[in-house]
Amino acid sequence: MKEKDKKLTDIIDGMSLEDKALMLTQYPIDSICGNKEIVTGCWDMDGMTNDMIMRVGTVLNVANGETADRIRAIRKENGIDDPLMFMLDVIHGYRTIFPIPLAMACSFDTELVEECARIAAVEAAADGVDATFSPMVDLARDARWGRVMETAGEDPYLGGEMGKAYIRGYHNGGLACCVKHFAAYGAAEGGRDYDTTDVSERNLNEHYLRAYCECVKEKPEMFMSSFNLLNGKPLLAHPELTVDKLRDEWGFNGVLISDYNAVRELNVHGYAATPRDCALTAFNAELDIEMCSPCYANNLPDLVREGVVDEKSLDEKVYRVLKMKDRCGLYDIDKSTDTQKRDKITLCEEFRAAAKKAEERSCVLLKNDGVLPLKKSANIALVGPFADEKYIFGHWASTGRADDVVTVQQGIERTLGRTVESEKGCSYDLLSDDESGFDAAVRFAQNSDVIVACVGEHMYNSGESHSRADIALPKVQTALLHRLKTLGKPVVLVVFGGRPLALTDVLPLSDAVLYAWQGGTECGSAIASLLYGDAVPSAKTVMSFPRSSGQCPIYYNHFQTGRPRASGKPAVLSGDICTVGYDDEYNDPLFPFGYGLSYTTFDYSDLKLDKAKMRRDGKITATVTVNNTGDRDGTEIVQWYIRDKFASVVRPVKELKGYERVELKAGESKTVRFEITKDTLAFFTDGGAFDAESGDFDLFVGGNSRDCLQTGFALVD
Ligand code: BGC
């Protein structure tokens, strides 16, 4: 045994059963020091005495170095030597807030994501945080689900790439991290957060588990189990996932932590009758840390004494927690907050600049009939509930502050170097029907050259527990746009959302649409740069934009049916029957996965393969010429997709296999390459093996998942 390991096993040898159970228990920081910082669920002490709470091994929701220091001191005074580990949801920034992860993924820029995660980690670590509960790599196919904002969207491959980038960034910045929520939490029925999931083993392996599995390669310290029922059992009753898959097959040897109160919720689900049963179920699923419920603390010691639970297994779990603390250096240094250093780096210019760049690369230009970029001399009318709103930075902004945020109005003022007025017109409240501000907004816009309308959903209408049944723009905002349209002026929509909203009704009321998501501290300055052409849009959406809520779930990598509807049109328009589709809605989304415009245009030509057939040990190199055909420099995100035409199980119509951000000067052409090997073509075959099958394949390349050049090749034995 290595020296370090012995150090840890010695500690374990000196622990009582009670202390071991408490090492596996995590409580919020407020329960220790009475500070109410952040609470992400309900909790009560439920049999935990003050002394027990004082002795827990890890704590969540610290968001302040001084508080962390105070708690360390209180524990020392009470004779507790073990270093407490402080955890927090640092999801898209700590004090400098970056765009929501869904937006960041639209940059297809893993280096940028890594750098933003590093900055978040640097700020958080300087303020007493040891670990973050991020990245979230749940697959998001249903925009009604509030938590799509935390994901990288609907593609499993991109999800894995983004997840790994976050982990690298956190590690570089000095933070431990946690991949969540294992597993299939994103498949909630009806898009209702926390709701039941029913996912076949094939769908799990192919789609829902891919990103989690990929993340293991970057050695995250923790995995978090999810709240949901999966195929009839709560996640913590699925040892075939948490043990066989995660630990044995994927080789994850870090800490498995529950979600908030989820062990106790085994009872609420109707699975475990008593707290003791809850503890035992979770223990057998190899759960290490129980977050915010006391089933382990109150029951494990007796379960060991009664011989129901083996103390060796308990020690293994404790060991994993100590090992994580050791990996974070907690046994080597006496931590205390360097407030001077913290205050110097927090929200510094360099970090703000990174936040601005991130939002510039995250905003998706969905429509532009030539009105953008705006001329700096144009007389704009800035209207809408988000025109001068600071709450545009995103729901999971941990310790972000609205006061730090640059609004769209402020951003435009900075860009133009003069003051600008704005008029709200209406509220952003989802159910508001108050049109009393419309007249003022219309009067305000009357003499302008162009209207810039900042509309969308409020950041607290997405995120955890904020699912929506109707994801159209709130009615009052649509009504405002109808009134503004009567002025006959060009209308630019800047849309805020934690999800792709269904924009069908408002698209005809606009001449351009810039989808800003929720863009962090520098949201307004980035939007202004994009509106005025100081920055050129390059992002591509990573979730299909539904035409209507009824289309959800909708995703590009679906299966072909036996009765596809060639027209894709509603049956009442096309007369198509006995084919898949709706009577009253199109089949395709309003904007497909991978879609986004620029201020320039790109042309794809000359798609070639160096050979048409490949052996299993061979490779094919595909090339395509991408030409910037406009008069501005720009960046195109080139996307490669594959379809396996016939296989032992039906393959999706397209699957993203590669992408590249390609910078092109006006008029410039570049040859972009993509290598195909057997691994590119592998999937879970009918026998269950992850392998490629011989046969014919389609290869697609383009600037979105719909409009592609296409060729074919074969894999031969
Ligand atoms: C969320 C997790 C989060 C945890 C701790 C839960 O409600 O589902 O994503 O990490 O709270 O705050």
Q: What is the pLDDT of residue 78?
A: 86
User: What's at 475, amino acid-wise?
Assistant: K
Closest residue by Cα to residue 135 from 173, 106, 161, 157: 161
Report residue 49's pLDDT band, with 50, 70 and 90 as the boundaries.
Answer: confident
Report residue 46's pLDDT band, with 50, 70 and 90 as the boundaries.
Answer: confident
* 180 ligand 1 Cβ < 6 A: yes
Report residue 1's pLDDT band, with 50, 70 and 90 as the boundaries.
Answer: very low
* 133 ligand 1 Cβ < 6 A: yes
User: What's at 618, amino acid-wise?
Assistant: G
Report residue 34's pLDDT band, with 50, 70 and 90 as the boundaries.
Answer: low
Q: Which residue is associated with the tokens 């001329």?
A: 375
Q: What is the pLDDT of residue 4?
A: 56
What is the C-alpha separation between 45 and 439, in angstroms, rounded? 53
Q: Which two tokens stand for residue 130?
A: 């040891």
Weakest-pLDDT range from 48-57, 133-142, 546-555, 597-606: 48-57
Q: What is the pLDDT of residue 657?
A: 98
Residue 139 has pLDDT above 90, yes or no: yes
Q: What is the pLDDT of residue 37?
A: 45
Other beta carbons less than 10 A from residue 465's beta carbon: 11
User: pLDDT (tens digit, 9 = 90+) per residue, 245-256?
Assistant: 999 999 999 999
Report residue 62's pLDDT band, with 50, 70 and 90 as the boundaries.
Answer: confident
What is the C-alpha separation between 484 and 383, in angstroms, rounded? 10
State which ligand 1 atom lies nearest to the alpha carbon of 150: 9
Q: What is the pLDDT of residue 87?
A: 97
Across 399-426, average pLDDT: 97
In contact, 459 and 392? CB cutoff 8 Å: yes
Chain-centroid distance of CA 426 in Å reads: 30
Output the DSSP codes for 531-552: HTTSS------SS-B-SSGGG-
State which ligand 1 atom lies nearest to the alpha carbon of 41: 7
Across 442-447, average pLDDT: 97
In contact, 153 and 159? CB cutoff 8 Å: yes
Closest residue by Cα to residue 438 from 407, 478, 388, 395: 478
Please give, one letter per residue, the 3-state secondary structure of 658-689.
EEEEEEECCCCEEEEEEEEEHHHHCEECCCCC
Give Cβ neighbours of residue 336 (< 8 Å, ≥ 6 apart): 69, 72
Residue 371 has pLDDT above 60, yes or no: yes
Q: What is the pLDDT of residue 2?
A: 52
What is the C-alpha separation between 274 and 308, in angstroms, rounded? 15
State which ligand 1 atom lies nearest to the alpha carbon of 61: 12
Strands in 491-496's sheet, in edge-to-edge order, are 364-368, 512-517, 491-496, 450-456, 380-383, 422-423
Radius of gyration for the chain, computed over Cα atoms and rounded to the nearest angstrom: 26
Q: What is the pLDDT of residue 40?
A: 40
In contact, 165 and 603? CB cutoff 8 Å: no
Residue 675 has pLDDT above 60, yes or no: yes
Q: Which residues pair with 691 in a beta bridge?
A: 683
Weakest-pLDDT range from 71-80, 282-291, 427-436, 438-447: 71-80
Mean pLDDT over all residues of the chain? 96
Question: Whose Cα sits closest to atom 8 in ligand 1?
Answer: 259
Question: Burial of 443 by CB count in 10 Å (0-12 exposed, 13-18 middle, 19+ buried)?
Answer: exposed
Across 201-206, average pLDDT: 96
Give Cβ neighbours of residue 360 (< 8 Å, ≥ 6 apart): 526, 529, 530, 535
Q: What is the pLDDT of residue 31?
A: 64
Strands in 602-609's sheet, in edge-to-edge order, are 602-609, 619-628, 669-677
Ligand 1: residue of 151, 259, 399 to mutate (most ligand atoms within 8 A of CB) is 259
Q: What is the pLDDT of residue 39?
A: 39
What is the C-alpha separation between 190 and 500, in angstroms, rounded? 16
Residue 25 has pLDDT above 70, yes or no: yes
Q: Is 259 a catalytic residue?
A: yes
User: pLDDT (tens digit, 9 = 90+) per residue, 221-267?
Assistant: 999 999 999 999 999 999 999 999 999 999 999 999 999 999 999 99
Question: Burial of 431 by CB count in 10 Å (0-12 exposed, 13-18 middle, 19+ buried)?
Answer: exposed
Ligand 1 centroid to 275 CA: how many Å? 21
Residue 45 has pLDDT above 90, yes or no: no
Q: Which residue is associated with the tokens 């159209």?
A: 472
Ligand 1: residue of 42, 89, 145 to mutate (most ligand atoms within 8 A of CB) is 89
Ligand 1 centroid to 259 CA: how many Å? 6
- Of 82, 127, 259, 388, the catalytic one is 259
Report residue 576's pLDDT band, with 50, 70 and 90 as the boundaries.
Answer: very high
Ligand 1 centroid to 90 CA: how many Å? 11
Ligand 1: residue of 37, 260, 289 to mutate (most ligand atoms within 8 A of CB) is 260
Q: Which two tokens stand for residue 150?
A: 């935390």
User: pLDDT (tens digit, 9 = 90+) per residue, 282-337?
Assistant: 999 999 999 999 999 999 999 999 999 999 999 999 999 999 999 999 998 888 99
Q: What is the pLDDT of residue 47?
A: 81
Ligand 1 centroid to 355 CA: how many Å? 24
What is the C-alpha separation between 282 and 309, in angstroms, rounded? 12
Weakest-pLDDT range from 34-43, 326-335, 502-511: 34-43
Residue 589 has pLDDT above 50, yes or no: yes
What is the C-alpha separation between 269 and 194, in angstroms, rounded? 11
Report residue 41's pLDDT band, with 50, 70 and 90 as the boundaries.
Answer: very low
Give percent above pLDDT 90 in the chain. Answer: 92
Instruction: Determine which helix (DSSP H) or strand (DSSP E) holds 293, and give its type and residue range.
Output: none
* 693 ligand 1 Cβ < 6 A: no
Report residue 398's pLDDT band, with 50, 70 and 90 as the boundaries.
Answer: confident
State which ligand 1 atom lies nearest to the alpha carbon of 88: 12
Q: Which two tokens stand for residue 434?
A: 């108050």
Q: Which two tokens stand for residue 110?
A: 């893993």
Ligand 1 centroid to 226 CA: how many Å? 9
What is the C-alpha separation between 602 and 704, in angstroms, rounded? 12
User: What's at 525, amino acid-wise?
Assistant: S
Ligand 1 centroid to 40 CA: how many Å? 6
For 7, 20, 224, 315, 328, the CA distances from 10, given in Å and listed in that order, are 5, 13, 28, 11, 19
Report residue 50's pLDDT band, with 50, 70 and 90 as the boundaries.
Answer: confident
For 568, 580, 586, the CA distances from 575, given in Å and listed in that order, are 11, 12, 13
Helices (H), 328-405: 339-345, 349-360
* 259 ligand 1 Cβ < 6 A: yes
Q: Which residues pair with 634 in a beta bridge?
A: 664
User: What's at 89, amino acid-wise?
Assistant: D
Across 457-470, average pLDDT: 97
